[in-house]
């Protein structure tokens, strides 16, 4: 009986099944994912928020409950400042609530059944995030909100939205905002911002929230147009990859004159070995992770700050690229490349000396260990632009002269004692020649 019921259900689903375009639309709605256990088992802490939950995946967890009262206070300040009836925001979010639900994969059934509860969570989390962005960036002059009557309308001893909170709380909130399982759809944030403003909703500034996030995540870099983003992690990723169009054109123009790429397995050596082979390292003019290039024996790499949040950040970016079809693989490729050229502390020290790695976690050995751990279970897309750089570096090192020089340095110049031994041998050989000459041609 149960078997027949299953057959009938499958046949009915088959009749209701649409074409590939309908399936494509369904997958396009998804942008926020639960990270699978095969990934999180390597580092569970990197994917779990430590101070605040955003969205349904970690809602109600005991270690995050203390932040809930701060969310409610942020909502009241938000409503008081913009002087719009609360019902306006509820109605606006209710109109898009199904789209918000579809943004989350593996959403628990309770949220599908409790639309009011889901809407309440979205509004509280969304207003809290917007208040974090507004307060954290107001010190630079809130040029995006010139109509705000009061900028700092929180108490000076507020635990989150005060000067004290900016220093001790917001860095942890920022870290949690960049975890894949802790994302809010940009559709929600844009909707709340639009409803807070006066005027025609169709004439609102679509880049407003993007700019606020850029000032929050990258306070000392240029603000650029991002277009339609999926969530804060997507905004951050685009900021990491943004390139100046003029600089990008120069790189493309030069690429036509680079080395011919050969077939075969290319293994990129460590930074120290590359240096011994005659390759020099130089800091790129751009901070974009795509700003890696190789030309005339010079490998250019963008600068990167390595601190306590680096591991969690890049693991979540890699997970996003892995799970979201069409996201790209630039961050994954960058980490894969850096792992190839960083084997130990000497490689980190070499890159640090060129201003490429800024070490804020202590020892060079710790930085090397971090990059090695980030690259576990990831692969480089053969169509990646960095695969071209891989092959160019490999070809350069494989040239007879460069290979001979690398072997010579590796064999005879690895330590000061080896260098002294070689110099002594050369001097002894020279003295032997001089003695021979005097013996053959006496005065």
CA distance 416 to 422: 10
Mean pLDDT for the stretch of residues 44-58: 96
pLDDT-derived band at 266, boundaries 50, 70, 90 = low
Stretch 155-181: mean pLDDT, rounded? 95
**Average pLDDT of the segment spanning 120-143:** 85
pLDDT greater than 60 at residue 149: no
- pLDDT surpasses 50 at 259: no
Q: Write the pLDDT tens digit of every residue in 189-223.
A: 999 999 887 766 655 777 899 999 999 999 888 88
Q: What is the pLDDT of residue 430?
A: 75
What are residue 294's phi and psi, to 5 degrees? -135, 130
The model's confidence at residue 150, banded by pLDDT at 50, 70 and 90, is very low
Whole-model pTM over 0.75: yes
| Cβ-Cβ contacts under 8 Å for 363 (sequence gap 6 or more) | 345
Hey, CA dihedral for 203, 205, 207, 210, is it positive or negative? negative
Q: Where are the domains of the chain?
A: 30-223, 245-401
Residue pair 75/128 in contact (Cβ under 8 Å)? The answer is yes
Please give the average per-residue pLDDT across 251-260, as a whole number. 37
CA 346 to CA 331: how far, in whole Å? 24
pLDDT of residue 139: 56
Whether 312 shows a pLDDT value over 80: the answer reads yes
- Average pLDDT of the chain? 84
pLDDT for position 417: 59
Task: Give percent of the chain above pLDDT 70.
Answer: 80
pLDDT of residue 257: 35
Confidence of residue 2 (pLDDT cuts 50, 70, 90): low
- Cβ–Cβ under 8 Å, residues 127 and 78: yes
Confidence of residue 249 (pLDDT cuts 50, 70, 90): very low
State pLDDT tens for residues 225-239. 999 999 999 999 999
**54-80 pLDDT tens trace:** 999 999 999 999 999 999 999 999 999
Predicted local distance difference test score (pLDDT) of residue 409: 59
pLDDT-derived band at 19, boundaries 50, 70, 90:
low
Summarised one tens digit per residue, pLDDT across range 104-129 is: 999 999 999 999 999 999 999 999 99
Which among 278, 300, 407 is positioned nearest to 351, based on CA atoms? 300
Q: Quick one: which of 119, 111, 112, 140 has its CA closest to 75?
A: 119
296 vs 353 pLDDT, higher one: 353
Greatest C-alpha distance within the chain:
117
Residues 6+ apart with CB under 8 A from 41: none
pLDDT confidence of residue 73: 96
Q: For residues 287 and 220, what is the distance between their CA atoms, to the nearest angstrom? A: 12
Q: Note the pLDDT of residue 141.
A: 44
Strands 298-301 and 293-295: antiparallel
pLDDT computed for residue 304 by the predictor: 95
**d(Cα 424, Cα 196) in Å, to the nearest integer?**
79
Q: Which long-range contacts (CB under 8 A, 24 or more apart) does 250-258 make?
A: 251/293, 254/293, 254/295, 255/388, 258/294, 258/295, 258/392
Q: Between these two residues, 401 and 167, which has the higher pLDDT value? A: 167
Amino acid 203: pLDDT: 58
């Amino acid at each position: 009986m149960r078997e027949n019921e299953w057959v009938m259900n499958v046949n009915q689903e088959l009749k209701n099944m649409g074409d590939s375009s309908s399936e494509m639309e369904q997958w396009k709605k998804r942008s926020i994912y639960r990270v699978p256990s095969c990934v999180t088992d390597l580092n569970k802490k990197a994917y779990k928020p430590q101070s605040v939950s955003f969205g349904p995946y970690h809602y109600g967890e005991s270690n995050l409950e203390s932040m809930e009262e701060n969310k409610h206070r942020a909502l009241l300040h938000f409503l008081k400042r913009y002087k719009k009836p609360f019902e306006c925001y509820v109605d606006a979010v209710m109109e898009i609530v199904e789209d918000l639900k579809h943004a989350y994969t593996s959403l628990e059934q309770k949220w599908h059944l409790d639309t009011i509860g889901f809407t309440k969570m979205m509004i509280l989390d969304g207003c809290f995030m917007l208040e974090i962005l507004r307060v954290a960036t107001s010190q630079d002059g809130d040029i995006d909100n010139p109509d705000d009557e009061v900028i700092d309308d929180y108490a000076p001893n507020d635990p989150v939205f005060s000067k004290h909170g900016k220093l001790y709380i917001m860095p942890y909130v920022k870290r949690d905002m960049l975890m894949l399982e802790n994302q809010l759809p940009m559709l929600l944030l844009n909707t709340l911002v639009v409803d807070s403003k006066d005027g025609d909703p169709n004439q609102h500034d679509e880049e407003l929230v993007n700019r606020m996030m850029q000032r929050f995540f990258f306070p000392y870099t240029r603000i650029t147009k991002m277009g339609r983003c999926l969530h804060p992690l997507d905004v951050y990723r685009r900021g990491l990859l943004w390139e100046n169009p003029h600089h990008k054109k120069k790189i493309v123009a030069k690429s036509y004159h680079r080395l011919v790429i050969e077939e075969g397995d290319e293994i990129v050596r460590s930074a120290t070995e590359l240096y011994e082979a005659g390759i020099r390292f130089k800091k790129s003019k751009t901070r974009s992770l795509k700003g890696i290039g190789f030309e005339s024996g010079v490998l250019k790499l963008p600068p990167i700050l390595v601190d306590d949040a680096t591991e969690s950040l890049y693991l979540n970016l890699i997970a996003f690229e892995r799970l979201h079809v069409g996201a790209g693989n630039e961050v994954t490729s960058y980490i894969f490349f850096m792992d190839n050229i960083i084997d130990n502390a000497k490689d980190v020290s070499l890159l640090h000396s060129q201003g490429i790695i800024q070490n804020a976690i202590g020892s060079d050995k710790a930085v090397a260990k971090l990059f090695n751990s980030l690259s576990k279970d990831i692969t480089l897309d053969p169509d990646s632009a960095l695969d071209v750089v891989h092959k160019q570096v490999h070809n350069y090192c494989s040239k007879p002269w460069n290979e001979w020089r690398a072997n010579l340095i590796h064999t005879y110049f690895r330590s000061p004692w080896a260098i002294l031994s070689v110099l002594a041998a050369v001097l002894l050989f020279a003295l032997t020649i001089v003695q021979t000459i005097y013996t053959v041609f006496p005065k």
